[in-house]
Amino acid sequence: MSNLFIVESPSKAKTIEKYLGKKFKVMASMGHIRDLPKSDFGIDVENDFAPKYISIRGKSDLIRSLKKEAQKADMVYLATDPDREGEAISWHLSTLLGLEPDRCKRVVFNEITKTALKSAVAAPTDINMNLVNAQQARRVLDRIVGYKLSPFLWRKVKKGLSAGRVQSVATAMIVDREEEIRAFVPKEYWTLNADFTDSDGSNKIEAKFYGTPKGSIEINNETDATRIYNELQESTFKISSIKRAEKRKSPAPPFITSTLQQEASRRFNFQAKRTMKAAQELYEGVNIKGVGLVGLITYMRTDSLRISDEAANAAKEHIISTYGESYYPPARRYFKTKKSAQDAHEAIRPSNITITPEQAKLTCTPDQYRIYKLIYDRFLASQMAEAVYDTLNAEITDGKYVFKAACQVLKFKGFTAAYQETEKEKNHRKLYKVEEGDEMTLQALSKDQNFTQPPSRYTEASLIKALEENEIGRPSTFVPIITTILAREYVERDGKTLKPTALGEVTTKLMKDHFASIVDYDFTAQLETELDKVEEGSAEWQAIVGHFYDLFIKTLEQAEKNLTERVKLPEEVTEEICPNCGKNLVVKSGRFGKFLACPGYPECRFTKTIVIDTQVPCPKCGGKILQKRSKSGKTYYGCEHNPTCDFMTWDEPLTQRCEKCGAPLFKRSGRGRETYCSNSACGKQEASNE
Contact status, residue 40 vs residue 63, Cβ threshold 8 Å: no
Contact status, residue 349 vs residue 378, Cβ threshold 8 Å: no
Closest by CA position to 141, among listed 473, 470, 463, 465: 473
Task: Find all residues with CB under 8 Å of 215, minimum gap 6, and list them.
Answer: none
**By three-state DSSP, how is residue 31 classified?**
coil
Dihedral sign from CA coordinates of 43, 46, 48, 50: negative
By DSSP bridging, strand 439-451 and strand 237-249 are antiparallel
Closest by CA position to 206, among listed 221, 191, 216, 220: 191
Residue 552 to residue 146: CA distance in whole angstroms = 12
Half-sphere exposure of 167 (CA within 13 A, CB side): 26
| Extended strands (E) in 263-415 | 286-288, 292-294, 387-397, 402-412
Contact status, residue 254 vs residue 347, Cβ threshold 8 Å: yes
299: annotated active-site residue: yes
DSSP annotation of 255 reads B
- Helices 366-382 and 272-284, axial angle in degrees (round to 10): 80
Rama region for 211: left / alpha / beta (φ>0; ψ in -120 to 50; rest)? left
Residue 420 to residue 31: CA distance in whole angstroms = 37
By DSSP bridging, strand 75-78 and strand 104-106 are parallel
602: cis peptide before it, omega within 30°?
Answer: yes
Residue 480 to residue 3: CA distance in whole angstroms = 34
Residue 95 to residue 90: CA distance in whole angstroms = 9
Residue 672 to residue 15: CA distance in whole angstroms = 22
Cα angle value 350/354/359 (rounded, 5°): 90
Residue 29 to residue 32: CA distance in whole angstroms = 7
**By three-state DSSP, how is residue 648 classified?**
strand
| Extended strands (E) in 428-474 | 439-451
The backbone torsions φ and ψ at residue 533, rounded to the nearest 5 degrees and listed phi first, read -65, -35
Sequence-distant contacts of 665-670: CB under 8 A, at least 24 apart: none
Residue 27 to residue 4: CA distance in whole angstroms = 7
Dihedral sign from CA coordinates of 356, 362, 365, 366: positive
Burial class (CB in 10 A: 0-12, 13-18, 19+), 310: exposed
Q: What share of the chain is helix, strand, coil (3-state, %, to 5)?
A: 35, 25, 40
- Given 53, 283, 299, 323, the catalytic residue: 299
Contact status, residue 463 vs residue 173, Cβ threshold 8 Å: yes
Residue 508 to residue 177: CA distance in whole angstroms = 12
The 10 Å Cβ neighbour count of residue 105 is 22
Active site positions, annotated = 299
